[in-house]
Amino acid sequence: MDPITKMAQEFMGSWLRFRQTGKVRLFRIDTDPSMHHDLGRIFRAIEMSPDNRSPYFIFDTPFLNRHEFFEAAVRKLGSDYALIREGLSNDGVSVGELNFNSERTQDSAATFAQSVESVWNQVKSQFEYLMLIFLPQKIELRKDWATAIEELLLMFRSSKVRIAVADTPERFLAELQDRYGKESMVGKFFISQSTLQEYLLKIAAGGFGALNREGRSDDASVKAHKPAEDASKSLKANGHASAQSPDPAGLSPYEAARLRTCMAKAAIASAEGKVEASLEALRDGRTICQRNGLLTHDAILLMAMANTLIAAQRHTQALEYYDEAIAVATRAAAPVVVMQARMGTASVLFRVQNYERAAASYQQAADDATAAESEIMRIEALRMAGTCHNLRGRPDAAAACWNQALGAGTKISLREFDASTIDQIGNEFVAMCEKNGLAEQAKSIKQQIETIRVQALLREREQTAVNLSA
């Protein structure tokens, strides 16, 4: 079994044991922030399973300080509760509205805990317990974070509220887990870079056929593509674009094996901080693509070279490679790659604080996303364009971009909504309005985002009903 599938299965086994015991209140997740997105997707899938008897409230806001974090958590709790309330109503179950403002205290963590208890009091007849899952994108104050989690555990010690929390790679919460003894469990959701590199080189040496020769059946060989796809996504998360297919159409087995090896060598060299070695391997890969007329793959390798240069703080060169990638992908009629390269250009400009050019590039990327039929990326590009305008002191231009993004949000599914950055747009938009004394506009934006989420939920349920009746 490949290491990615093995890790996922072991984590699911630990989570199942956690769900089945009522005495364990804390589940510590041994992981890394780069894996939080995939963790969130897994938890949403578990939440939707028929045997689940708990709503999952997932909080991924960065923990920069406790006040801002718990303020954001209360807002997220409210919007998630609105979805649950709507869902229960569709099933013929009526629950009341919440008014968190009447329960405010000076302690933001206590305010959050009171809000959670208010939710539980409304829905306890329908569920066995509430699950709070904390997957912060970033933790600035780690001691404060550990203290905040322990305070929540104490506040919920006599309630039906359970907590799962992602730990830092240094296992900063391990001591807290030890103190709670039998009331805590741990699950690992992490693949080390060395393990991933070893797996990639194994594939590169002989492709998927090599994995089949180790004893896989024909059916298993089809499933082997999924872990490889996941491995590719992990590389992208660490700054590497990879070919959309392990063996591009038209390549001979010899050339395909050489291309795979180039990609694996580049990934390993970059992970080890060997920039020139990574670039050299990617240049070799480009030579293979060019002599075989693979324009799309050539553009992808150009993006990988740009990403490698960004990691080395060589931003001017990175921009040159992104520009070349856009040109090559345009000739290849590959709109998805054009969009990705344009987003790369914009991100570099943002890094060097050239917000005017970055805003223009992000807005171009939003148009590219339309051509690529990706509403999620259009939303993200418009979010960042608005952020750039806001940083330049141009609130009208920022509002125009964010309003376009919210308009795109009306077309997406619930899963796409959860994967999008609409909540972040809402937070930035509301903060900008409040800063400029536009309280009513801020309130309207909050309601608009809640409406978008509810509509996405209703569309998903309607589609599920259609599928079941087909």
Task: Kindly give, in sequence order, each residue whose CB lies less than 8 Å from that of residue 199, ignoring residues fewer than 6 positions away.
Answer: 2, 3, 4, 231
Higher pLDDT, 64 or 49: 64
Whether the predicted pLDDT of 402 surpasses 80: yes
Contact 387, 428 (CB under 8 A): yes
164-219 pLDDT tens trace: 999 887 888 888 888 888 899 999 988 766 666 565 555 444 443 433 333 333 33
Which fold does the domain 3-188 belong to in CATH?
Rossmann fold (3.40.50)
Upper half-sphere CA count for residue 65 (Cβ side, 13 Å): 4
d(CA 47, CA 188): 19
Query: Count of CB atoms within 10 A of residue 434's CB?
Result: 13
In CATH terms, 334-448 corresponds, of 3.40.50.300, 1.25.40.10, 1.20.210.10, 1.20.1050.140, to 1.25.40.10
Residue 73, both tokens: 């958590």
Whether the predicted pLDDT of 439 surpasses 60: yes
Q: Among 80-89, 120-129, 459-468, whose mean pLDDT is lowest? A: 459-468
Q: Which residues of the chain form CATH 1.25.40.10?
A: 334-448
Q: Among 73-82, 246-255, 330-339, 349-358, whose mean pLDDT is lowest? A: 246-255
261-301 pLDDT tens trace: 888 788 778 777 889 999 999 999 999 999 998 898 899 99
Contact 417, 452 (CB under 8 A): yes
Higher pLDDT, 94 or 242: 94
129-174 pLDDT tens trace: 999 999 998 888 888 888 999 999 999 988 899 999 998 878 888 8
- The pLDDT of 322-347, averaged and rounded, is 93
Produce one character per residue of 112-127: b if its CB has 16 or more CB atoms within 10 Å, e if not: bbbbbbbbbebbeeee
pLDDT of residue 7: 84
For residue 298, give the amino acid letter. Answer: D
d(CA 311, CA 378): 25
Task: Kindly give, in sequence order, each residue whose CB lies less than 8 Å from that of residue 214, ignoring residues fewer than 6 positions away.
Answer: none
pLDDT of residue 107: 78
Residue 278, both tokens: 């990574």
Whether the predicted pLDDT of 333 surpasses 60: yes
Query: Count of CB atoms within 10 A of residue 370's CB?
Result: 16
Whether the predicted pLDDT of 249 surpasses 70: no
Q: Which residues of the chain form CATH 3.40.50?
A: 3-188
Res. 90 pLDDT band, cuts 50 70 90 = confident
Res. 344 pLDDT band, cuts 50 70 90 = very high
Sheet holding 56-59, edge to edge: 56-59, 130-134, 161-166, 26-30, 184-188
For residue 301, give the amino acid letter. Answer: L
d(CA 257, CA 262): 9
Higher pLDDT, 90 or 123: 123
Q: Where are the beta strands (DSSP E) in 15-140?
A: 26-30, 56-59, 130-134
Task: Kindly give, in sequence order, each residue whose CB lies less than 8 Å from that of residue 185, ignoring residues fewer than 6 positions away.
Answer: 14, 17, 18, 24, 26, 27, 28
Task: Kindly give, in sequence order, each residue whose CB lies less than 8 Å from that of residue 392, ignoring residues fewer than 6 positions away.
Answer: 355, 356, 359
For residue 134, give the 3-state DSSP assignment: strand
Q: For CA atoms 202, 206, 209, 213, give the dihedral sign.
A: negative
Res. 44 pLDDT band, cuts 50 70 90 = confident
- Phi-psi map region of 62: left, alpha, beta (phi>0 left; psi -120 to 50 alpha): beta
- pTM for this model (two decimals): 0.54
d(CA 33, CA 11): 16
d(CA 448, CA 450): 5
Q: Among 15-29, 326-340, 404-418, whose mean pLDDT is lowest? A: 404-418
pLDDT of residue 207: 43
